[in-house]
Amino acid sequence: MVTRELAALVVAAVSRAAAAGELPQLPEPLPPFEVEPPRDARHGDYATNVALVLAKAAGLPPRRVGEAVHRHLPVPSADLARAELAGPGFLNLFLAPAFVHRWLRRAHEADRRFGTSDEGRGRRVLVEYVSANPTGPLHVGTGRGGAVGETIARLLEALGYDVSREYYVNDYGGQVETLARSVEARYLELAGCAAEFPADGYQGAYVGDIARRIADREGLSLARAGEAERLARVQEYALSMMLEDIRETLEAFGIRFDTWFSERTLHERSDVRRCLEALRERDLVYEEDGAAWFRSTRFGDDKDRVIVRRDGRPTYFAADVPYHLDKYERGFEHLIDVWGVDHVGDVARVRGAVGAFGHAPSSLEVVLHQHVRLKNEGEAVRMSKRSGEFVTLRDLLEAVGRDAARFFFIMASPSAPMDFDFALARRQSSENPVYYVQYAHARICSILREAARLGREVPPAAAADLGRLTAPEEWVLAKRVITLPEVVYAAAMRREPQRLCAYAREVAEAFHVFYGQCRVLSDDAALTGARLVLVDAVRRALRNTLDLAGVGAPERM
């Protein structure tokens, strides 16, 4: 990436300054310093705080350090046009055209791989996200977790990690039983039997739909079967129908999981029981009041938590521990869980438990995302799966489309709460920020189509005279485009998908400004060739960014 190349130039300059006796011997490697684009373009294309960082170790004022480094920077050269020492000791770096041209050519050569790197090559990562209980359709809030998790997975793949996507299916325990009893009641109603709807049952219309579909397939004979058999059959049907609905919705949302991991199998394979024994051996579980308790206070929890109830049924947490151990056993060295904030309290417990089995706490990473507060014309919408009052992800997709939904969900930092006005989204769907970016892409494709029609194909990047790109709008655009690799790197490593949206918007803006000032197809063949190479690099950068965000890059719109 650009910043890394510049940092290497700076490090080399520091070494030369030290060798020349202008700086004292400094620790190897140097303390971390930054190379980044300053806010104000007058402060260079990139600025580095290296002199400020080294001042302490060098025992010299920052500006003295800066002067020494400045003298040994290769300016002017094919990389840097010039450098300036400014303010408290910043070194402002101005890129040489040849440097930018080299990167534009790389964008062409790399094409779909432009922006990727191999930082994570050979490392296996498991990303678990969504994992919503299959007790109802996915609601809007789970869309955020889905978009965040999927984008993190794609970002890590772009860094070369071997990524596996997983959905943990809570197909065991009280909630699915409640779903089964709810469906059973609706089914019995269909059969004309007196049935009391469970007090804690799921009220949504989808419960009745499932009952009807069971009746369509099985008839009403289950009404005469024994209760245990009927419940078991109904639960099986309800689960598979719900999961099918969830799977379809996620596919429409651009998400496909590699594995759907069943919680029930952990119980059936005795993983839960064996894990409990192992925890007991480590003195992390004790008996009290007839229940078994996990010593979560060892891991910063404010109280110990029940792991096996008085009636002998294990709690959710009892399965969560062997589940995560199983992930490690399957060969993943790093685990990422994307959870809604309502699970904050679980983080320390699970991490502590897997730590007791020898796994580094840092190898289990939990990305928490805040909930989506849904509004309708400014009025808050209460959402509850139990009451059946909620807006589904499917509704959202039908209202605003996949692209707008995906972009919107990752535009904000996962840790920031998000307000979403459904009515507004429906109404202003054509004015969503995503269209600004997509429009830039479509406009470029339109230019390329026109070029092809005129028989003026994009020349090979190496053949074009990029020195003809001299307009300020061209320069700004080119420099923005070539930052994609560092944007992808930062977004992936910091688990901050919103950086993709910011980059896409900035590149689109630079392109729209360029478009207003510079005509691509002109009588000047050399200039036309250079501009075609530039816009085709922009096209690749935008497409790759939108791909990572799970948003389409339309050639026409």
Residues 290-319 that bind RNA (CB under 7 A): 290-291, 302-303, 305-306, 309-311, 315-317
Minimum Å gap between C-beta 223 and RNA is 27
For residues 320-379, which are near RNA according to CB under 7 A? Answer: 341-346, 368, 370-371, 373
In this structure, what DSSP letter does residue 367 have? E
For residues 174-203, which are near RNA according to CB under 7 A? Answer: 174-175
Q: Is 112 in the site for RNA (CB under 7 A)?
A: no
259 or 370: CB nearest RNA: 370
# residues contacting RNA (CB under 7 A):
94
- Going residue by residue from 380 to 419, which x/- string records binding to RNA, judged by CB under 7 A? -------------------------------xxx-xxxxx
Query: Can you tell me which of 25, 27, 29, 40 binds RNA, judged by CB under 7 A?
Result: 40
Minimum Å gap between C-beta 76 and RNA is 19
For residues 517-536, which are near RNA according to CB under 7 A? Answer: 518-521
Given the structure tokens 């064996």, which residue do they identify? Answer: 274
Minimum Å gap between C-beta 361 and RNA is 15
Q: Is 431 in the site for RNA (CB under 7 A)?
A: yes
User: Are the C-beta atoms of residues 212 and 190 closer than 8 Å to each other?
Assistant: yes
Q: Which among 234, 253, 308 is positioned nearest to 132, based on CA atoms?
A: 253
Amino acid at 362: S
493 or 525: CB nearest RNA: 493
User: Are the C-beta atoms of residues 167 and 145 closer than 8 Å to each other?
Assistant: no
Given the structure tokens 């300036």, which residue do they identify? Answer: 84
Q: Is 509 in the site for RNA (CB under 7 A)?
A: yes
Which DSSP string corresponds to 70-82? HHHS--SSSSEEE
Q: Residue 227 half-sphere exposure, CB side, CA atoms within 13 Å?
A: 4
For residues 228-257, which are near RNA according to CB under 7 A? Answer: none
40 or 216: CB nearest RNA: 40
Query: Can you tell me which of 28, 281, 289, 523 binds RNA, judged by CB under 7 A?
Result: 289
188 or 318: CB nearest RNA: 318
Minimum Å gap between C-beta 297 and RNA is 11
Q: Is 512 in the site for RNA (CB under 7 A)?
A: yes
Given the structure tokens 């041209």, which residue do they identify? Answer: 101
Amino acid at 87: G
Q: Is 426 in the site for RNA (CB under 7 A)?
A: no
Query: Can you tell me which of 144, 505, 539, 543 binds RNA, judged by CB under 7 A?
Result: 505
Q: Is 39 in the site for RNA (CB under 7 A)?
A: yes
User: How far is residue 258's CA from residue 270's CA, in Å, rounded to a whole number?
Assistant: 24
Query: Can you tell me which of 435, 464, 529, 534 binds RNA, judged by CB under 7 A?
Result: 435
User: Are the C-beta atoms of residues 204 and 185 closer than 8 Å to each other?
Assistant: no
User: Are the C-beta atoms of residues 463 and 526 closer than 8 Å to each other?
Assistant: no
Given the structure tokens 């070194």, which residue do they identify? Answer: 91
Amino acid at 461: A
Which DSSP string corresponds to 142-164? HHHHHHHHHHHHHHHHHTT-EEE
For residues 444-473, which are near RNA according to CB under 7 A? Answer: 445-447, 450
User: How far is residue 268's CA from residue 253's CA, in Å, rounded to a whole number?
Assistant: 32
User: How far is residue 466's CA from residue 535's CA, in Å, rounded to a whole number?
Assistant: 12
Sequence-separated (6 or more) residues with CB below 8 Å from residue 11: 30
192 or 378: CB nearest RNA: 378
Residue 405 phi/psi, 5-degree rounding, is -65, -50
Which stretch, 180-188, 329-337, 388-396, 516-524, contacts RNA (CB under 7 A)? 516-524
Given the structure tokens 């992800």, which residue do they identify? Answer: 393
Minimum Å gap between C-beta 16 and RNA is 22
- Going residue by residue from 152 to 171, which x/- string records binding to RNA, judged by CB under 7 A? ------------------x-
Q: Three-class SS of residue 410?
A: helix
2 or 104: CB nearest RNA: 2
Q: Is 502 in the site for RNA (CB under 7 A)?
A: yes
Q: Is 49 in the site for RNA (CB under 7 A)?
A: yes
Q: Is 44 in the site for RNA (CB under 7 A)?
A: yes
86 or 110: CB nearest RNA: 86
Minimum Å gap between C-beta 194 and RNA is 27
Sequence-separated (6 or more) residues with CB below 8 Å from residue 66: 50, 51, 85, 89, 90, 91
C-alpha pair distances (Å), 392 with each of 181, 262, 439: 22, 23, 28
